Amino acid sequence: MPDIIEPKTLRGFRDSLPQEELARQRIQERLSAVFRRFGFVPIDTPALEYAEILLGKGGGETDKQVYRFRDHGQRDVALRFDLTVPFARFMAGHAGELYLPFKRYHMAKVWRGENTQRGRYREFMQIDFDSVGTDSASADFEILEVMQASFLALGIERVRIHVSHRELFNRFLAARGLEAQYLPILRTIDKMRKLDRGELVEQLAGLCGKDRAEELLSFITPAPTDAETLAGMGKLLPPDCEPLQRLRALWACIEEGGLASFFRFDPSITRGLDYYTGVVFETFLLDLPDIGSVCSGGRYNDLASLYTREKLPGVGASIGLDRLLAALEELKALEAVSAAPAVLVLLLDEGLLPQYHRLAAELRRAGLSAEVYPEPRKLAVQLKYAERRGIPMAVFFGPEERASGRYTLKDLRSRKSYEGLTGQATAETARRLLQP
Amino acid sequence: MPDIIEPKTLRGFRDSLPQEELARQRIQERLSAVFRRFGFVPIDTPALEYAEILLGKGGGETDKQVYRFRDHGQRDVALRFDLTVPFARFMAGHAGELYLPFKRYHMAKVWRGENTQRGRYREFMQIDFDSVGTDSASADFEILEVMQASFLALGIERVRIHVSHRELFNRFLAARGLEAQYLPILRTIDKMRKLDRGELVEQLAGLCGKDRAEELLSFITPAPTDAETLAGMGKLLPPDCEPLQRLRALWACIEEGGLASFFRFDPSITRGLDYYTGVVFETFLLDLPDIGSVCSGGRYNDLASLYTREKLPGVGASIGLDRLLAALEELKALEAVSAAPAVLVLLLDEGLLPQYHRLAAELRRAGLSAEVYPEPRKLAVQLKYAERRGIPMAVFFGPEERASGRYTLKDLRSRKSYEGLTGQATAETARRLLQP
């Protein structure tokens, strides 16, 4: 007898069982519907690309997490590690076929050979949506609106999207001759949520002096209302400051749309160092603040400079589906999606197989999901299968029913039986019983 | 200025542009709905697995098409090249959590470094559905029914599913002492569609003599009706021949279900050599016979013998989505799915941005898709964008409309305008105009 190979998956990779997969698909359908409603269209790109495309020319050592190898033709290839780089390559490669502004969404797996501690996975589903080809308050606002509408579509109203503008901070520092300290100051600010105010002032004071440190902290500390925060900023920045004008335009749209309670102007949001150049945002679930941002993004002034000389400004956001799924589960916001059919047609007499299948087909035509138990096993075994799967109803058609030509429908939850039903009446009764 | 990297994809890999991606998603949604109606549930598995799992222990040289490499931990890993092997590993690995029979569907990408001539791609979407844990006519029939229902759901009625049974042919040969010639005879039969009858008889006669060759040919040549073919087979096989009994049971279900016109008993179907052990089937589009089978499969008596000692008989089929998509396009059976929103709110005065977005939100709440043009560009540019994307309607809210507080809706197809509308009336009019 040959040896058995242990049926294991790679560390950091997982199967998706039916219940989870249904939940995932449900989320993707909901979000697709939101994106479509805002005029975004779906695209897809290859999982595998030239390593040079994904990593840039100097990519040799830049990202050790990337799955990179030589293919059959000795080409240097890699699995995509995000959806942004492939999108940049896509925009550069299809410039002739596309119109601008181009608004796409992309839901797809990405791969990173990360440390699997702290519950990180090496394969995960990313959901990105971007609006490219325009630098405008309108496009910024639309992305923010899509974010809020996405969470609402998933049943989450208690969400807060923190918004800031990357340049705001630069302008503040520049006006004070602190450009040179930009990076260390930004890194310190990034730690803001982990440090208490005293520690923060101390670290900042080391970089720019105590007075500046206090001013800086008051600059990035939100006031009780967004209007006050914006007003406070206005006093610390030149009056023609574009970033501030952009934020004011956004807030006018947010307020006119009745969305003020979902947004928070938060100057402490910086979103890393290199990529973003305009508005930046992070999304927090008010009932699960500890899990951090579940949807982040911002504006960048040139998406695809590696692949084209055409300048493509854009704005977009990204949702990590696995983290979101875990959050929804914890919030019990995942509605129960049954993986089971509504009706099991019991196989009581193999000679009647064609009739069982004809009834199942009639139930399906009436909009119900139905299946025939596939073998003439003991009734107890068939009912145990229904119970194991959570099938709520079963149809009996045995010798007794055959004599009358009528079916018996049993509600397996209430154990109530409905006898003497025609096929149509079986379907109608089952539909009625399915209603909550 | 840095060099530009050419934004190219790997040979055999493609981007999916919005129109195609929408069509693909539409098909996946339709098929999911069919599978669910029959009680099938979705699963997913990792794209990357241990090479040993995917290729078996002797896999070193077995499949040169597989993308195989060493990961960061020097593990020997590979990208899945089909959905059957991962499913076998899945069933063995989750035996304790699953019930039997287990009916799953799986829609996912697979990768094969194939020769890209003849329009083959190296990354493609596979759609598999299987019923595992039972060897029964009921499960066989259900898979056939799902296949027919799948094509119907895609708008294809003119489909014919050719069905046979792998063992039928073995039994015929065994009863004539021709077991030893099984493989060469099967290979010759496999060429049946390419050879004319004379050539076929000649080649077969070389293997088993002229009389046997003629008998063989009449055995595998369908009669005008399936009933006659089955009756003719009955005369050439022992009366207790199980494969024939299985086929008769299937045909009883097919006829009772009113599905006879979609199926054809065709003894020439053999589906390769190793894997299948029971019923086998291939699906042909009557209006596109030349593209070959668009959905094939069969029964196997042991899915996961590499990974578990538990015997898992099953039956299933597989659809290649890319080929199907090409076929649907050729048949013009792809309903037009517009990638464009229904309404473009024109940005005529940047000061009114919040009002434009409020109107777009109102349209969306009324169930329409809508977007605001993001920049205050010339009207001609905005309308050109609408035309390029195929957006059918535009809303004007300029100085004139602002004075009255009413909107103008323009049907860009008929060039008719509707003036003096409230937000609600705009939504209602747009919905009416969208109707075909």
**Would an 8 Å CB–CB cutoff place B363 in contact with chain A?**
no
Other Cβ atoms closer than 10 A to B25: 18
Shortest CA gap B189–chain A (Å): 32
C-alpha span between A418 and A424 (Å, rounded): 13
Q: One-letter amino acid identity for A409?
A: L
* Euclidean distance between the first and the last CA atom of chain A, given in angstroms as a whole number: 53
Nearest by CB to A45, from B2, B15, B38: name it: B15
φ and ψ at residue A279, rounded to 5 degrees: -60, 145
What's the longest Cα–Cα distance across chain A? Answer: 95
Shortest CA gap A265–chain B (Å): 18
C-alpha span between B34 and B147 (Å, rounded): 9
pLDDT digits (tens, 9 = 90+) for A274-283: 678 999 999 9
**Would an 8 Å CB–CB cutoff place B67 in contact with chain A?**
yes
- Chain B segment 396-435 residues within 8 A of A by beta carbon are none
Query: Structure tokens of B26?
Result: 């539409």
Determine contact, residues A145/A258, Cβ cutoff 8 Å: no
pLDDT for B338 equals 81
Residue A47 and residue B109: Cβ atoms within 8 Å? yes
CATH topology of domain B343-434: Rossmann fold (3.40.50)
Query: Structure tokens of A77?
Result: 């290839």
Q: Write out the H or E segment, with its range, that includes residue B186.
A: helix B182-190
Which positions in chain B touch A4 (Cβ < 8 Å)? 306-309
Determine contact, residues A393/A359, Cβ cutoff 8 Å: no
**Would an 8 Å CB–CB cutoff place B74 in contact with chain A?**
no
Residue B31 has pLDDT above 70, yes or no: yes
pLDDT for B272 equals 65
pLDDT for A307 equals 93
Residue B263 has pLDDT above 80, yes or no: yes
Question: Of residues A404 and B436, which shows the higher confidence score?
Answer: A404
Shortest CA gap A261–chain B (Å): 16
DSSP for B368-424 reads --EEE-SS---HHHHHHHHHHHT--EEEE-SHHHHHHT-EEEEETTTTEEEEEE-HH
Residues 6+ apart with CB under 8 A from B76: B50, B51, B52, B68, B70
Which positions in chain B touch A385 (Cβ < 8 Å)? 99, 101
Other Cβ atoms closer than 10 A to B426: 26
pLDDT for B436 equals 81
**Would an 8 Å CB–CB cutoff place A115 in contact with chain B?**
no
Lowest mean pLDDT among A7-21, A113-127, A154-168: A113-127
Residue B61 has pLDDT above 60, yes or no: no
The mean pLDDT of A114-131, rounded to a whole number, is 88
Domain chopping of chain B, boundaries:
18-330, 343-434
C-alpha span between A239 and A226 (Å, rounded): 18
φ and ψ at residue B248, rounded to 5 degrees: -65, -40
Residues 6+ apart with CB under 8 A from B349: B376, B398, B399, B402
DSSP for B133-156 reads S---HHHHHHHHHHHHHHHHHTT-
pLDDT for A91 equals 97
Which positions in chain B touch A52 (Cβ < 8 Å)? 5
How would you classify the pairing of strands B159-165 and B314-320? unpaired
- Tell me how many helices (H) and strands (E) chain A has: 15, 16
**Would an 8 Å CB–CB cutoff place B145 in contact with chain A?**
yes
The mean pLDDT of B39-45, rounded to a whole number, is 98
Shortest CA gap B380–chain A (Å): 14
Which positions in chain A touch B345 (Cβ < 8 Å)? none
pLDDT for B2 equals 64
Residue B131 and residue A89: Cβ atoms within 8 Å? no
pLDDT digits (tens, 9 = 90+) for A287-332: 998 888 999 999 999 999 999 999 999 999 999 898 898 888 888 8
Percent of chain B exceeding pLDDT 70 equals 97
Residue A92 has pLDDT above 80, yes or no: yes
What's the CATH number of domain A18-330, 3.30.930.10, 3.40.50.2300, 3.40.50.300, 3.40.50.1580?
3.30.930.10
C-alpha span between B112 and B106 (Å, rounded): 18
CA A8 to chain CA centroid, nearest Å: 27
Determine contact, residues B178/B212, Cβ cutoff 8 Å: yes
List the single residue in B with minimal CA-CA distance to A109. B47
Question: Of residues A291 and A252, which shows the higher confidence score?
Answer: A252
Burial class (CB in 10 A: 0-12, 13-18, 19+), A360: buried
**Would an 8 Å CB–CB cutoff place B64 in contact with chain A?**
yes
Residue B193 has pLDDT above 70, yes or no: no
Residue A390 has pLDDT above 90, yes or no: yes
Give the residues across from A318 on adjacent strands: A128, A296
C-alpha span between B352 and B399 (Å, rounded): 10
Query: Structure tokens of A209?
Result: 């002096």
pLDDT for B57 equals 64
C-alpha span between B29 and B22 (Å, rounded): 10
Residue A59 has pLDDT above 70, yes or no: no
Nearest by CB to B93, from A7, A255, A347: name it: A7
Residues 6+ apart with CB under 8 A from B158: B285, B286, B287
**Would an 8 Å CB–CB cutoff place B257 in contact with chain A?**
yes
Residue A374 and residue B134: Cβ atoms within 8 Å? yes
List the single residue in B with minimal CA-CA distance to A65. B72
**Would an 8 Å CB–CB cutoff place B130 in contact with chain A?**
no
Residue B60 has pLDDT above 60, yes or no: no
Q: Write out the H or E segment, with its range, that includes residue B158.
A: none
Confidence class of residue B233 from pLDDT cuts 50, 70 and 90? Answer: confident
Burial class (CB in 10 A: 0-12, 13-18, 19+), B55: buried
φ and ψ at residue B338, rounded to 5 degrees: -75, 135
Which positions in chain B touch A47 (Cβ < 8 Å)? 47, 79, 109, 111, 123
CA A246 to chain CA centroid, nearest Å: 27
pLDDT digits (tens, 9 = 90+) for B285-310: 999 988 889 999 999 999 999 999 99
**Would an 8 Å CB–CB cutoff place A357 in contact with chain B?**
yes
Query: Structure tokens of B17?
Result: 């542009």
pLDDT for A144 equals 98
Determine contact, residues B22/B337, Cβ cutoff 8 Å: yes
pLDDT for B333 equals 80
- Which DSSP symbol is given to B314? E
The residue count for chain A: 436
Shortest CA gap B81–chain A (Å): 13
Other Cβ atoms closer than 10 A to B383: 17
**Model's pTM, two decimal places?**
0.93
The mean pLDDT of B308-327, rounded to a whole number, is 92
Q: Tell me which residue of B121, B113, B117 sits closest to B20, measured CA to CA.
A: B121
Residue A218: CA atoms inside 13 Å, Cβ hemisphere, count?
13
Q: Degrees (nearest 5) of the Cα angle A340, A343, A344?
A: 90
pLDDT digits (tens, 9 = 90+) for B77-136: 999 999 999 999 999 999 888 999 999 999 999 999 988 776 689 999 999 999 999 999
- Which DSSP symbol is given to B101? S
**Would an 8 Å CB–CB cutoff place B203 in contact with chain A?**
no
List the single residue in A with minimal CA-CA distance to B75. A10
